[in-house]
């Protein structure tokens, strides 16, 4: 029998409170600590520390994260805010150490330092553009950007030496139909409603259980790949950031994340979904958005397949398989939209319906959204 999600969340909240006690003896990262850390690692001279152009901006979320900039130079200084987040930051530092000598190194921010005693990770600050901003700003470069991201991801997945990093477990979202303390990460009333929907829907439950059963950590991966974790340098080269979940994982999770995120962009585009009086304009925008998803999928997957020194099966069962992984990522995006909400957004419900459809008719999903067609009837 499945546990009551509400009861699990109450107990999970208590567990989170226990984990939130920060490791004693470590100074909390602030502006002065960040600048001193850079100086201590030889990244700033005493004269530069007094330069009036030196700025420190707080970009903290789960971890403490300060951006230090001086003229064209910049650094990201991160520190965990709990034992749990410090553990993920320790892992991120290990991922940098493994990848900085690999063929994937050009697609990483430069690793500067990791201070085990203070729990501080220092990397290059990449002053780049997010893929969604680039997608809007320069339509002509969209295929080139997709090709670059596909090739970079393939190089990551072909890194042979994992440096002894432990394999990543299947993401908690794949177990949200059977909630336990470690599988429920979101505690809003809206999140609980989404979890109940998954539990009560046979297609969604089968989808997540199927992907969970297929999970195999057989490639170096990012583990949380989406547009927010990619920046494009002025040259157009992609840089992958935020590696707290990096390490050996299932490469299909990375691929599906980038594909399905484009569907979320399309579904939440205000220009494509407007009141009835502007329906003709909306229809045109919706059709254009769907065409852009297909263009991205073709360029991204084509580049990935060409670069990857292995096999990505995009025929018959392999394509069905990838579509179901995309469906699982749609469930994850639906849950993530419920942060700090009392009721789910309409788009959360739409994403859940799409996810169920991806499970039941994967061939139709492949053709409709990604333009990937196999002529063997509707599947």
Q: What is the pLDDT of residue 370?
A: 96
Sorted by sequence, the CB contacts under 8 Å of residue 81 that are 6+ apart come out as 20, 22, 60, 62, 63, 64
Residue 276 CA: distances (Å) to CA of 89, 270, 272, 279, 283: 48, 13, 12, 5, 10
Q: Cβ distance 75 to 38 under 8 Å?
A: yes
Rounded to whole angstroms, the Cα distance separating 223 from 245 reads 5
Copy the structure tokens of residue 274.
């407007």
SS3 113: strand
Element (H, E) at 65: strand 64-70
For the domain that residue 298 is a member of, what is the CATH number?
3.90.1200.10
Listed in sequence order, the residues at least 6 apart from 2 whose beta carbon sits closer than 8 Å to its beta carbon are 177, 178, 179, 199
Which residues of the chain have a pLDDT value below 50? 1-21, 23-24, 378-379
CA–CA gap between residue 155 and residue 304 (Å, rounded): 9
Task: Round to whole Å and give the CA distance between 150 and 296.
Answer: 10
What range defines the domain where residue 77 resides? 20-124
Query: pLDDT tens digit string along 235-253?
Result: 899 999 999 999 999 999 9
Query: What is the pLDDT at residue 360?
Result: 97
Same domain, 72 and 200: no
CATH code of the domain containing 90: 3.30.200.20
Residues 164 and 104 in one domain: no
The pLDDT of residue 9 is 36
Domain co-membership, 135 together with 79: no
Helix 279-307 and helix 362-370, axial crossing angle in degrees, nearest 10: 100
| Sign of the Cα pseudo-torsion (44, 46, 52, 56, in order) | positive
| Number of domains, the chain | 2
Domain shared by 54 and 163, yes or no: no
Same domain, 111 and 194: no
pTM comes to 0.87
80 and 196 in a single domain? The answer is: no
Q: Does one domain contain both 80 and 107?
A: yes
The predicted-structure confidence for 165-198, as pLDDT tens digits, reads as follows 999 999 989 988 776 665 555 567 888 888 889 9
- Domain membership of residue 185 (yes or no) is yes
């Amino acid at each position: 029998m499945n546990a009551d999600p509400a009861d699990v969340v109450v107990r999970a909240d208590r567990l989170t409170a226990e984990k939130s006690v920060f490791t004693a003896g470590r100074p909390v990262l602030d502006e002065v600590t960040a600048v001193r850390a850079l100086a201590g690692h030889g990244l700033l001279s005493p004269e530069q520390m007094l330069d009036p152009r030196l700025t420190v901006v707080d970009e903290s979320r789960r971890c403490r994260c300060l951006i230090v900039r001086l003229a064209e130079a910049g650094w990201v200084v991160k520190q965990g805010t709990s034992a749990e987040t410090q553990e993920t930051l320790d892992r991120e530092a290990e991922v940098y150490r493994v990848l900085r000598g690999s063929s994937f190194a050009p697609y990483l921010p430069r690793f500067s330092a990791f201070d085990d005693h203070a729990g501080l990770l220092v990397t290059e600050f990449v002053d780049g553009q997010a893929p969604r901003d680039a997608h809007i700003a320069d339509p002509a470069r969209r295929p080139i950007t997709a090709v670059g991201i596909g090739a970079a991801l393939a190089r990551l997945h072909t890194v042979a030496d994992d440096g002894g990093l432990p394999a990543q477990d299947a993401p908690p979202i794949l177990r949200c139909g059977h909630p336990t303390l470690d599988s429920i990460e979101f505690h809003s009333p809206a999140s609980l409603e989404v979890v109940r929907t998954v539990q009560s829907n046979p297609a969604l439950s089968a989808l997540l259980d199927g992907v969970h059963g297929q999970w195999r950590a057989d490639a170096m991966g990012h583990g949380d790949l989406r547009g927010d974790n990619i920046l494009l340098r002025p040259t157009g080269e992609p840089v992958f950031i935020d590696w707290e979940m990096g390490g050996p994982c299932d490469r299909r999770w990375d691929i599906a994340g980038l594909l399905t995120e484009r569907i979320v962009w399309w579904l939440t585009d205000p220009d494509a979904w407007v009141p009835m009086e502007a329906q003709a304009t909306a229809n045109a925008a919706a059709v254009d958005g769907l065409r852009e998803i297909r263009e991205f999928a073709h360029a991204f997957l084509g580049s990935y397949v060409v670069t990857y020194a292995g096999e990505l099966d995009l025929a018959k069962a392999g394509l069905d398989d990838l579509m179901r992984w995309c469906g699982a990522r749609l469930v994850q995006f639906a849950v993530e939209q419920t942060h700090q909400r009392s009721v789910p957004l309409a788009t959360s419900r739409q994403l859940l319906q799409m996810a169920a459809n991806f499970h039941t008719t994967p061939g139709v999903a492949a053709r409709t959204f990604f333009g990937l067609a196999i002529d063997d009837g509707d599947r």
